[in-house]
Structure 1
Amino acid sequence: MTTGFLVRTATAEEAITVFKHLSDVEQWNPGNKDAEYFQRTYPDHFFVGELDGEVVSCVTAVPYGDCAFMGMYIVKPEHRKKGYGFKTFQTALDSVKDKNVSLDAVLQEIKTYEKSGFVVHSFLQMRHHGKFDVTNLYKPNKNIVPLNTFTNEQIAKYEESIIGFYRPEIWELYKNYEGGYSVAYAEDSKLEGLGVIRPGSNAYKIGPLFAKDTETAKQIFIELVNSIPKDSYIQMDVPSANAEAVKFAEGFLGFKNVFECKKMWTREPPKHIFNQIYGSFALEYG
């Protein structure tokens, strides 16, 4: 590693262009606005590594209460195995060192993260990919309402009850995602499920998809998919810890499991209600 390398926070333009370019190379397919929305919401938590004026790496590390999540970690292929990625990662990790930090690790990199104090905890994030025609299934449902019917705080409290992260600030942009669609499933004005669909480079992403049971998840899924062009590819990141969610994705939808990673933490993870997680928010956000 040369002396011309430094780690700093990203500009808005860098967050959008660098992560988008690198993730396209790796075919990660984040939502088209994910990096922009992250940088707008958490401008001090998007890090880049700069080598002699060129950005060669990036990673995020954002605190959510007592926890933190790291994501969007990538290094330009020609600059890998030179220490730039590790330095970028460690600088970001140091910024949240007082938190219980989580990340989603690709399987071949688990041992690398273990060297930084991360421990594997129980479940896989399984990316499912496919198409599904809802034409003959769709019908209006009085319980499904626009997600912005609820305040950011109400949505965040509901999310916290399921995954342990409280982050109302993230929902201002996500419930009004450009080119996307977001809904809530409400009973007597109480949130019992929610879902967001957003366009990506090569498929629409559904995430999160939270629901009290599989039938509710199915109704939310149908509502979301009815909003996009027919014959579109769709992706969902499904936790292996929810067997019903896996059965829904692979059995009912017929989606294929195309990618896996392991959830890792630096301490014991907060409580998750896995049987209500049918699609994770995003591997980039936690």
Structure 2
Amino acid sequence: MADRLEFRTMTRDEFALAVDWAAREGWNPGKHDADIFWETDPEGYVAACLDGEIVGTGSIVSYSDFGFMGFFIMRPDLRNQGLGTKFWFWRRDTLKARLKPGAAIGMDGVFDMQAWYAKGGFQFTHRNLRMQGVGKSAQPASNLVELSAAPFSEVAAYDQKHFGFAREKFLRRWIEPAEGLALGAVKDGALTGYGVVRACQTGYKIGPLFADDAATAADLFAALSDRACGEPLFLDTPENNPAALALAKANGMQEVFGCARMYYGSVPALPWDNIYGVTTFELG
């Protein structure tokens, strides 16, 4: 059967299938993620086809200097037959060819696949834990502003410092979330943190949440939580930032899911002590 497997890029309509499959896997994508993901890199979504039918999905998104792999899903009835292995290695190598020479590739893989991904050259760095709670009413702190009020160049520079690479095309859409809210923290005229909360198929999800210190992160979290008042609320916290876990637990959140952050090639030097919530498990 592996000999009949073919790989190709997806159309926009076909990408909706990947998002639907992700929802069925319990990954709870954002209601409006698909359009933003697609516009970030229309060539970055691929399919494995068997006799012309899509049986596997995946993303191989390029930020030029950095790549990210996600949406790796094989149709359940075709798993454990070697098809996913062939598709996954094709995705890795195709993404390498799309990037600048020597660029790293990141991924957030489910825990039980961690050893398998390691065989493909990816090294583990830490776990990102999905924490779940309930949005609570809060009065926004006086140092917070809607992110659209801050110069985009400043937002992009702050984001690049914490993400590690420029992603302006993605960022322009992400910080104006439909059914959501994006806030920045300002001190002495400078941005000291920002966060985004967006509507998901179940409840709301905060991501990213970047801040210079724990107090600023707490201010941002409270205001974003208010936008999701009474609804399920999720935050993907890096386990290598104890302050991020403490923030989640202080707000009554509990671990419900998680992924292993892994890299192929050099590991980006990121300020994890200032990362309280990663942006997405799909695009980094």
Tell me the number of residue pairs that the alignment of Structure 1 and Structure 2 aligns: 279
Equivalence map 1:207-218=2 (5 Å):
207-218=207-218
- Matches of 1:237 and 1:91, distance apart in 2: 28
- What letter corresponds to residue 200 of structure 2 in structure 1? G
1:49-91 superposed Cα distances (whole Å, 9 cap, x missing partner)? 1222321111111222432111111111112123332233222
| Equivalent residue, structure 2, for 1:111 | 115
Residue aligning to 1:60: 59
Q: What is the Cα deviation at residue 23 of structure 1?
A: 1.4
Shift of 1:5: 2.5
Unmatched runs of 5 consecutive residues or more in structure 2: none
1:102 to 99, 103, 106: 106
- CA deviations on 1:90-129 (whole Å, 9 max, x unpaired) are 22211232421111121211121112111112x1101101
CA deviation after TM superposition for structure 1 residue 153, in Å: 3.8
Greater alpha carbon shift after TM alignment, 259-268 vs 200-209:
259-268
Distance verdict in 2 for CA 1:151–1:89, change over 3 Å: farther
Q: Which runs of 5+ in 1 are unaligned?
A: none
Q: Which runs of 4+ in 1 moved over 3 A?
A: 150-153
Superposition RMSD on alpha carbons, in Å? 1.7
Secondary structure, aligned partner of 2:244: helix
Instruction: Report the equivalent of 2:281.
Output: 283
Q: Which amino acid aligns with 1:204?
A: Y
For 2:246 and 2:116, locate their aligned partners in 1 and report how far apart those are by CA, in whole Å.
32
Whether the aligned pair in 1 keeps the contact of 2:140 and 2:222 (CA below 8 Å) is no
Trace 1:163-174 onto structure 2 (pairs within 5 A): 163-174=163-174
CA–CA separation in structure 2 for the residues paired with 1:198 and 1:172: 15
Contact 1:209/1:277 (<8 A) preserved:
yes
CA distance in 2, matches of 1:34, 1:192: 26
Deviation, 1:139, is: 2.3
TM-score (structure 1 length as normaliser): 0.91
**Alpha-carbon distance in 2 for matches of 1:93, 1:35:** 22
Note closer, same or farther for the CA distance 1:152–1:4 as it changes in structure 2 (3 Å cut): farther
Structure 1 residue 151 displacement after superposition: 4.5
Distance in 1, Cα, partners of 2:84 & 2:178 = 31
Aligned counterparts, 1:249-260, within 5 A: 249-250=248-249, 252-260=250-258
Q: Which residue type is aligned with residue 93 of structure 1?
A: R
For 2:237, the equivalent position in structure 1 comes to 238
